[in-house]
Amino acid sequence: MTIGVLALQGAFIEHRKALERLGVDTREVRLPEHLEGLAGLIIPGGESTTIGKLAVTYGLLEPIRAKAASGWPVWGTCAGMILLARDIGGLAQPLLGLMDVTIRRNAFGRQVDSFETWLDVPELGGDAPFRAIFIRAPLIERVGPGVQVLARLSDGAIVAARQRNLLVTAFHPELTDDLRFHRYFVRMTEEATKA
C-alpha cells in the first residue's frame, strides 16, 4: 500500500517522514499520473491559495476530486483543510470543494499568533490528549449533517472532522512525534481498500 502526499508546496516532507516511520510506502504527488495506484492522499499545510493555483496548473484538481468522490481517502491539514472545504466564506481561490464544512481562514491571526494546545480526540483511542500545533490556522465554523466532529478547542471551536473518506485537521500533526493521526488515516486507507 502506498499513500501519496501532495508535494506542490508546504509541509509535505514532514508528512512523508511520519508515514515512513509507520512503515508505509509514500509517493510525492506533483502530476496527475502520480495519483495512480495510491491508497489515499494527504494534502499538507502551507499556503492554500498557492497550493490551489499550482494544482490547477498541473491538472490535479479534477483527478483528485474524481477519486475522492469514489471513496478514495483524502486528509487535509491546515491549508489542505481549506482546499477540501465547500465553503471558505466566499473567498475566491481554487478548491476541491468536497467536504460539507465552512472554513474561516487565518482564524487565529497572523504567524505571530501561532500556538500549541492539548486536544481530546477520543477517535484516536486511549486517554492521552494530542498536542496540536496551530500555525496561521483555519477553523471550522459549520459542519454539515454527514460530518463527524473529532476535536474542539476548549472554547468549542471545531478543529478536526471527518466526512466518510475525508479527514481534516486545522493543526499540524506532522510537526509532532505523535503518529496517532497518521495511523488513523492509514486505517482509513486500509478500510477503503477492503471495501
Question: Each residue of 67-125: pLDDT tens digit?
Answer: 999 999 999 999 999 999 998 887 778 889 999 999 987 777 666 568 899 999 999 98
- DSSP-assigned letters across all residues of 89-136: TT--S-----EEEEEETTTT-SGGG-EEEEE--GGG-SS--EEEEESS
Q: What is the pTM of this model?
A: 0.94
Looking at 172, 182, 190, 191, which residue is catalytic? 172
* Of 51 and 34, the one with more pLDDT: 34
pLDDT band at 27 (very low <50, low <70, confident <90, very high): very high
Domain 2-194 top-level CATH class: alpha beta
C-alpha span between 114 and 108 (Å, rounded):
7
Looking at 15, 78, 123, 191, which residue is catalytic? 78
* Of 172 and 109, the one with more pLDDT: 172
Looking at 14, 15, 34, 174, which residue is catalytic? 174
Summary mean pLDDT of the chain: 92
C-alpha span between 175 and 17 (Å, rounded):
10
Question: Each residue of 4-26: pLDDT tens digit?
Answer: 999 998 889 999 999 999 999 99
**Residue 174 appears among annotated catalytic residues:** yes
**Residue 116 appears among annotated catalytic residues:** no
How high is the pLDDT of residue 137?
87
Domain boundaries, the chain: 2-194
**Residue 78 appears among annotated catalytic residues:** yes
The amino acid present at 107, given as its one-letter code, is A
Alpha-carbon distances of 59 from 5, 34, 159, rounded to whole Å: 16, 12, 29
User: Is pLDDT at 150 greater than 90 in this prediction?
Assistant: yes
% of the chain beyond a pLDDT of 90: 78
